[in-house]
Structure 1
Amino acid sequence: MIEAVGLTKTYGDTVAVDGLSFSVPPGRVTGFLGPNGAGKSTTMRMILGLDNPTAGHALIAGRRYRDLRRPLRTVGALLDAAWVHPNRSARTHLRWLARSNGIPAGRAEEVLEAVGLAPAADRLAGGFSLGMAQRLGIAGALLGDPEVLLFDEPVNGLDPEGVRWIRGLMHRLADEGRTVLVSSHLLSEMALTAQDLIVIGRGRLIAQCGVEEFVARATESSVRVRTPDAARLRALLEGEGAAVHDEDGALIVTGAESSFIGEMCAANGVVLHELSLLRGSLEEAFMRLTGDALDYQAVQEQEGAGR
């Protein structure tokens, strides 16, 4: 488990993280989301002891990172895939990491195989593509077989097959009972990967909940209905206060549950060809709940405001 308690980080007059508290449970993939400049990377660096908090503290498996005798055996992290020395091979880099934490050298071969880098084990890291560097960073995170893992933008540079692979890896790690925290700006990918969310803006907690709850809280669900008797059904629904509009030969209904619509159709002899629930997207929910926390606006928005 990861616990953040009142985490605060200031740089002069700038507050990067402001009294942030949350917990990341084991057995789940937790997405860590926020607009650019929200404090995600700073928070992850404080969890890993790379930045000292101005106030508050973070615990990994009940202990501060600096108190972990062999940290790679407890927590693995990928924050920056480019930090590897360019003149070291992938194998040498991982063996060096292993030796520093009392991990058997053979474990380097295992993780190279696991991330698909075994054929490139003796190539110098400086010649790696971004996708290969990401895989090497993930291998380093897995090296100590840790119970807690943190990934910051892990799919950067990966091709579609690589993205699918890292998604499956995170789910497997969580299914094994490990704690997995992943930060990404790719909301479509987070919708497929994360089960829970921690959402921050301007260094403060906006929400911590499941993905479905987050989307339901911020967006309005609607129901898609297709029927040969659309005009009569529309009149019935509007008579009950529901809002109805046409879209591609179907009725899109808000303000009425799908069960209510189905029962209404049965009671009034209306034939149904389709009755399906339409939910908002994670992207839509994110934009609605973090809109006030944006530090930067698109150029088009700024120009539009000045007209």
Structure 2
Amino acid sequence: MIEASDLTKRYGPTVAVDDLSFVVKPGRVTGFLGPNGAGKSTTMRMILGLDRPTGGQVLIDGRRYGELEHPLRTVGALLDARWAHPNRSARSHLRWLARSNQLPRSRVDEVLDLVGLSSVADKRAGGFSLGMSQRLGIAGALLGDPQVLLFDEPVNGLDPEGILWIRQLMQGLAAEGRTVLVSSHLLSEMALTASDLVVIGRGRLIAQASTAEFVDAAAGQSILVRSPRSDRLSVLLTANGASVVADPGDGPPALLVTGVTAEQIGDTAAANGIALHELSPRRGSLEEAFMQITGDDVEYASGSGNGRHRNENNPVGATS
């Protein structure tokens, strides 16, 4: 488990992380999301003892990172895929890490095989593609068989097969009871990978919730309705307090309805002799929810403004 309490980091007058508190639980993949400049990388560096907090603390299974006798056996991390010495082979790099934490050399070959690098284990890391470097970084994170894992943008440079592999790997690690925290800008992938989310902006917590709760609270859920008499149905539903808009999708003409239940839509249609060809819930996307919630917290906005405003009464854990 990772527990951040009132975590703060200042660089002179700049506040990179501002009184941030959250918990990352074992047995779940937790997505760590935020716009550029939100403080995600700084927070992950403080978790790993690479940056010292100005205030507050972060504990890993009840201890600060600096108190761990053999850190790789407790925490594995991938923060920078290119940090391996370019003139070292993948095997030499991992053997050096293993020796630093008194891990058996046999573990090196195990993780090389796990990440698919056995055939290039003796090649220089400097000649690796970004995707291969990511796999080497993941091998390093897994080397000590840790219970806590942190990944910063782990799918960068991976092809579709590699993205599927890392998704299944992270979910498998969480299923074993491990704590998995992953930061990524690829929101479509996070929607498939993460069970929980910690969302920050300008260094402050915006929300901590399950992925489903975050999407439903921010983007809402609409109901897709198809009917040969959609115009008449739209009038009736609007009169009953529903919000009705045309579905922008590429399929046959349809309505997106919010503010009433599917049962109410069906009852209204039946009472007025209107046939329904489709009546199905449609949940908003993580991308829509993320843009809605973080719209005021982007570091750089296109044009004169993005027109989005965060709901300060947002029910998924807003604290700023």
TM-score category, normalised to shorter length: over 0.9
Following superposition, which runs of at least 4 residues in structure 1 exceed 6 angstroms of deviation? Answer: none
Q: Counterpart of 1:77 in 2: which secondary structure?
A: strand
CA distance 1:235–1:164, change in 2 (3 Å): same
CA distance 1:153–1:237, change in 2 (3 Å): same
Give 1:260's aligned residue. 264
Q: Match of 1:283, as an amino acid? A: E
Give 2:225's aligned residue. 225
In the TM superposition, 1:1-307 aligns within 5 A as 1-247=1-247, 248-298=252-302, 300-301=303-304
Contact map agreement 2:227 2:275 (CA 8 A) in 1: yes
Unaligned residue ranges in structure 1 (runs of 5+): none
Q: Counterpart of 1:82 in 2: which secondary structure?
A: coil
Deviation at 1:242, TM superposition (A): 1.4
Q: Quote the Cα distance in structure 1 between the aligned partners of 2:209 and 2:306.
A: 36
Deviations 1:146-199 (CA, angstroms, capped at 9, x unpaired): 000000000111111111110110100000000000001111111111110000
Q: Quote the Cα distance in structure 2 between the aligned partners of 1:184 and 1:303.
A: 22
Q: Quote the Cα distance in structure 2 between the aligned partners of 1:17 and 1:230.
A: 50
Q: Match of 2:76, as an amino acid? A: G
Deviation at 1:297, TM superposition (A): 1.5
Q: Counterpart of 1:81 in 2: which secondary structure?
A: coil
Unaligned residue ranges in structure 2 (runs of 5+): 308-320
Deviation at 1:216, TM superposition (A): 1.3
Deviations 1:185-218 (CA, angstroms, capped at 9, x unpaired): 1111111111100001111000000111111111
Q: Decide which moves more: 22-31 or 251-260.
A: 251-260
Deviation at 1:301, TM superposition (A): 3.8
Q: Quote the Cα distance in structure 2 between the aligned partners of 1:81 and 1:229.
A: 56
Q: Counterpart of 2:279 in 1: which secondary structure?
A: strand
Deviation at 1:303, TM superposition (A): 12
Q: Decide which moves more: 228-237 or 42-51.
A: 228-237
Higher helix share: 1
Q: Counterpart of 2:82 in 1: which secondary structure?
A: helix
Q: Quote the Cα distance in structure 1 between the aligned partners of 2:306 and 2:142.
A: 47
Contact map agreement 2:78 2:150 (CA 8 A) in 1: yes
When the two chains are superposed, the root-mean-square deviation of aligned CA atoms in Å is 1.7
Contact map agreement 2:295 2:306 (CA 8 A) in 1: no
Q: Match of 1:50, as an amino acid? A: L
Q: Counterpart of 2:293 in 1: which secondary structure?
A: helix
Q: Counterpart of 2:300 in 1: which secondary structure?
A: coil
CA distance 1:297–1:238, change in 2 (3 Å): closer
Q: Quote the Cα distance in structure 2 between the aligned partners of 1:303 and 1:289.
A: 12
Deviations 1:258-307 (CA, angstroms, capped at 9, x unpaired): 22212333444433211111222111111111111122122x34799xxx
Q: Quote the Cα distance in structure 2 between the aligned partners of 1:67 and 1:254.
A: 52
What is the number of equivalent residue pairs in this alignment?
303
Q: Decide which moves more: 128-137 or 217-226.
A: 217-226
Q: Match of 1:217, as an amino acid? A: A
Q: Quote the Cα distance in structure 2 between the aligned partners of 1:288 and 1:38.
A: 16
